[in-house]
């Protein structure tokens, strides 16, 4: 081998090693409403391991029409001290960075569109966000507008969003703060929403939500986050609905790979098959799959719920080698998801493109209780893959699952099924800050109880270790609590 060839090899090797070393971010979103879930699904700040994530993003706050930032759950954020407790984790791990996210699916697009179009309101927005971040000791702010130019937004949103981010950057640089955003993955949505070079220039990093690429809004089974296209993806649009096409699309549109963070879904998309005997990828469906026992949303299951289901037995798991993801089925239920093996492959993929790192949506649906035998199985797989090129073997379900409670699941609100990134924010209800106790006479067991005198009001009954306490909540938008479906539903279809 010539000296020139050796020198070239060493240059490529060490350059690659140095660049690959920048693929080190592990960005963890936390959907804080998981505090109100029950049993093995309940997740509080005390469950967070501050060493598994490089960045934790508290989700979400909202935006008022005048541009001011607002708390969506002031009791949880402030009165219960959750924000303060999250930022206190930096005492344990001084290298941890915390951000707070604004937006999410339920916040919609209209208010963001109107604020972004008005210079005075943009200034109010930036000042209000700065006050929030500085007051609570966050290291940065995450923009999760879903999505500019869509869902009631305007065509001008693309430019206005770029202007908003530029103005944020000018202020943020004065204070040494991080500015990030969660963005749509698929090319057609990107073209409607973003001027990619501007986002790449002004954001510290870009969290690409490369999941919800298929789901029960379609007519057949599909993987939540396939790495590559399947051989059954014959149309051009179908070939865009995978992680590889999404990430390469962002790069082709002008994004710096070193600012892209690959989003990983810590959950699966579930389906109810039209026929239990036809259980392959692309099989016809009639609806979303059964709701997870903790997330309570048809058409999806948290990874922790998937582990519990597998532990209970009866599921057949199939590895989809084309798309590098597994799926499982049992009877008429079908779930496409990610496991430690597919996650590790995606981490290696991110490293191969010298991306900034990976992101998870979301930490509270990882196996944080260790029902698989390993606490935080997905996050541990991510961290291991960042340090190694090895791919872990298929996980084996734990034969004897830990006992779980059998009370009702946490409710969701009725909503239309989105076509992308619905899990960026689970539908919320409004909770009042007062918690009850045994003397209320409301709670007899953990679960959900509807108010006998007002069907729009219900109570989440949880144990504080010594007694049952009730947390009053209220359905929004004229909805009432549906005892049969365990959701906030339309009054005309609920017996009240």
* Cα 122 to Cα 119: distance, rounded to the nearest angstrom: 5
Distance CA 347, CA 364 (A): 20
Helix or strand run (H / E) with residue 182:
strand 178-183
- Per DSSP, 75 falls in state I
Q: Are 225 and 214 in contact (CB under 8 A)?
A: no
Q: Which helix (H) or strand (E) holds 205?
A: strand 205-208
Task: Report how far apart the first and last C-alpha atoms of the chain are (Å, whole number).
Answer: 82
Q: Which of 344, 353, 382 shows the shortest CA–CA distance to 54? A: 382
Q: Which helix (H) or strand (E) holds 231?
A: none
Non-local (6+) Cβ contacts of 27 within 8 A are 53, 54, 55, 57, 180, 205, 207, 261, 357, 358, 359, 360
Q: Using CB atoms within 10 A of its CB, is residue 467 exposed (0-12), middle (13-18) or buried (19+)?
A: exposed
What's the token pair of residue 5?
Answer: 């060839």
Contact 490, 414 (CB under 8 A): yes
464: exposed, middle or buried (Cβ count in 10 Å: 0-12, 13-18, 19+): exposed
Active site residue 146: yes
Helix 303-312 / helix 377-387 crossing angle, nearest 10 deg? 110
SS3 label, residue 50: coil
In the set 146, 297, 308, 420, the catalytic residue is: 146
List, in sequence order, every residue forming a beta bridge with 144; answer none if it has no partner: 103
Question: What are residue 242's DSSP bridge partners?
Answer: none
d(CA 409, CA 291): 9
Residues tagged active-site: 146
């Amino acid at each position: 081998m010539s000296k020139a060839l050796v020198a070239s090899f060493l240059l490529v090797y060490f350059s690659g090693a140095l660049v690959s070393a920048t693929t080190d971010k592990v960005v963890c979103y936390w959907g804080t409403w998981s505090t109100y879930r029950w049993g093995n699904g309940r997740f509080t700040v005390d469950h967070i391991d501050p060493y598994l994530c490089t960045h934790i993003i508290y989700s979400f706050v909202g935006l008022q029409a005048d541009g001011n930032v607002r708390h969506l759950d002031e009791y949880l954020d402030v009165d219960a001290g959750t924000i303060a407790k999250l930022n206190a984790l930096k005492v344990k791990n001084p290298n941890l960075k915390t951000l707070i996210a604004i937006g999410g699916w339920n916040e919609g697009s209209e208010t963001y569109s109107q604020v972004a179009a008005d210079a005075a309101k943009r200034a109010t927005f930036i000042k209000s966000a700065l006050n929030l971040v500085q007051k609570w000791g966050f290291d940065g702010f995450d923009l999760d507008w879903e999505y500019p130019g869509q869902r009631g937004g305007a065509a001008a949103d693309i430019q206005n969003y770029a202007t908003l981010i530029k103005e944020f950057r000018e202020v943020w640089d004065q204070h040494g703060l991080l500015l990030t955003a969660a963005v749509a993955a698929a090319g057609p949505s990107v073209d409607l929403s973003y001027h990619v070079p501007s986002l790449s220039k002004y954001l510290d990093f870009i969290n690409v939500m490369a999941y919800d690429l298929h789901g029960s809004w379609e007519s057949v089974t599909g993987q939540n986050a396939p790495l590559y296209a399947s051989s059954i993806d014959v149309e051009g649009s179908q070939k865009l609905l995978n992680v590889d096409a999404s990430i390469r699309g962002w790069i082709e549109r002008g994004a710096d790979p070193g600012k892209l963070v690959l989003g990983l879904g810590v959950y699966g998309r579930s389906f109810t098959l039209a026929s239990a005997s036809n259980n392959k990828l692309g099989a016809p469906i009639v609806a979303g799959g059964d709701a997870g026992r903790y997330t309570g949303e048809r058409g999806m299951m948290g990874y922790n719920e998937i582990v519990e289901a597998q532990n209970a037995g009866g599921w057949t798991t199939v590895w989809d080698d084309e798309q590098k993801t597994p799926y499982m089925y049992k009877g008429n239920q079908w779930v496409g998801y990610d496991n430690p093996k597919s996650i590790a492959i995606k981490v290696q993929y991110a490293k191969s493109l010298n991306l900034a790192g990976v992101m998870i949506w979301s930490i509270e649906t990882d196996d944080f209780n260790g029902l698989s035998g390993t606490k935080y199985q997905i996050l541990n797989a991510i961290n291991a893959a960042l340090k190694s090129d090895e791919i872990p073997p298929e996980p084996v379900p734990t034969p004897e699952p830990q006992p779980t409670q059998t009370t009702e699941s946490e409710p969701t609100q009725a909503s239309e099924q989105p076509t992308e990134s619905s899990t960026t924010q689970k539908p919320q209800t409004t909770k009042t800050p007062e918690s009850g106790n045994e003397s209320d006479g409301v709670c007899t067991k953990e679960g959900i109880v509807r108010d006998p005198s007002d069907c729009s009001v219900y109570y989440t009954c949880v144990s504080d270790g010594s007694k049952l306490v009730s947390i009053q909540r209220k359905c929004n938008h004229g909805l009432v609590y549906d005892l049969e479906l365990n959701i906030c539903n339309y009054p005309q279809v609920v017996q009240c």
